[in-house]
Structure 1
Amino acid sequence: MKNFITLVLVFAFTSIYSQKIKVEQGSFDFIVGQKEVNVIFDYDNMKLMKENFTNEEYITKRSADLEEKARGKGKTWEKAWNSSRELIWNPKFLELINKYLGKDKDMYFAEDLQDTKYTLIVETVWLYPGWDAGIMKQPAKVTTNLKFVETANHDTILLEINSKNAPGDQWGNNYSNESRVGEGYAKTAKTLAKLILKKAF
């Protein structure tokens, strides 16, 4: 009974932080007929945790905390964290948006596409890595600004969408901060794809 009550409280708590998505400006008309969209991931100004740490501040603090627990653990984590953008977060986003828009509308999103008319800038605003302690856990949360711009002129914004607190979690236990955040990017991409399908087509 105690475990059941704990689970109910965990689900109730996490539901408070469900994803919110809002169209800030623009329309979806330009998307129709596009077969390829370039993607740029921008992490330059992201903040982390409720304290709004910079990435450098977060790395310093987290690495020091882990080093206190076991020598070398902080350095190992730091390498994993620094590589997670290229190895987990960006690929997760691209995998999910292509899964939905590639299958239904034959659209392809990827980095470094040279000859596309439009570019999607995925600007990370805020991250919360979450935690997993076995029976109790808190999903990661990913907040992004999603801007479709002209590839030739990034100042021309055709559509801007704010995605707040996209949850990152997996069935069962997930003790990797980097993996949980990756699931938040997957959720962001899935929600964006479904919104495009609904509004543009």
Structure 2
Amino acid sequence: MFRKIVCIVLIISSSVSFAQRIKIDRKKLSFLKSESRIEVQLTFPEQMTFLSDNMSEKEFILYMKERRSKKDPSMGDKWLVEYNNAKQTTWKTDFLSTINKALAGYSDLRFVDSEEKTNYLLIVEGNWMYPGYGGGASVGREEAKLEVTLKFVDKSTPENVLYMTQTPKIIGNYAYGEFGTILRVGECYKKLGYLLNLQLKRILK
């Protein structure tokens, strides 16, 4: 019975991983083999949508602030500070720490926050974000979801996009806390790092 349960769990895990697989072109990304550092930039363009397919970031922020301010008027502003910090640093750190930890097992390549000497740039461009919901209980909660476009760019000619691919819906692990919505999106960026590493391994290992 135990073996059957383990097999079922493995099958489900494999199915989820396959569904979230990031498509890459090994030939177009072969230049990564000769690189040791790739700069990473997270962007949140104006056309990015939130929650529903037609909610803008401005509408999303207003919605979240109103929800957070119902019990405590100051919480909406506190949430916005944390959200802006996450966009600028936290989510990128989540991505970098995950992918670099995985890469360390088989490659010298590292993705970095910013470094003038890098030849190439990876732009992680947001398309859609859903922050999930719920507290500590297992009932009535949902993981965050994220869709982004990955663009590998030659820094000497920024308009030269060497390779671009749109990710499937990335589902992060569940997280909760004072700013659970932000933590859960961070889990999506961690999952993105993990999934991209799986594909890069085919090129670098």
Question: What's the TM-score bracket when you normalise by the shorter of the two chains?
Answer: 0.7 to 0.9
Partner of 1:48: 50
What per-residue deviation string (whole Å, max 9, x for no partner) do you get for residues 62-110 of structure 1? 1122223332221221222121123421100011111122331111211
**3-state secondary structure, aligned to 2:111:** strand
- Name the CA distance, whole Å, in 2 between partners of 1:184 and 1:72: 27
What pairs with 1:123-162 in structure 2 (closer than 5 Å)?
A: 123-133=125-135, 134-136=137-139, 137-162=141-166
Given the two structures, how large is their TM-score scaled by the length of structure 2? 0.80
Bigger fraction of residues in strand = 1
Q: How far apart are residue 43 of structure 1 and its match?
A: 1.2
Partner of 2:188: 184
What per-residue deviation string (whole Å, max 9, x for no partner) do you get for residues 32-76 of structure 1? 121111111111232211143222211112112222333222122
May I ask how many residue pairs the two structures share in their alignment?
184
- Name the CA distance, whole Å, in 1 between partners of 2:70 and 2:134: 20
- Name the CA distance, whole Å, in 2 between partners of 1:100 and 1:25: 19
Given the two structures, how large is their TM-score scaled by the length of structure 1? 0.82
Contact map agreement 1:92 1:185 (CA 8 A) in 2: yes
What per-residue deviation string (whole Å, max 9, x for no partner) do you get for residues 108-144 of structure 1? 2112211111111111111100012412221101111
Instruction: Name structure 2 gaps, 5 residues minimum.
Output: 1-11
- Name the CA distance, whole Å, in 2 between partners of 1:193 and 1:80: 28
Q: CA RMSD in A?
A: 2.2
Aligned residues with identical type, % of pairs: 26
What pairs with 1:87-98 in structure 2 (closer than 5 Å)?
A: 87-98=89-100
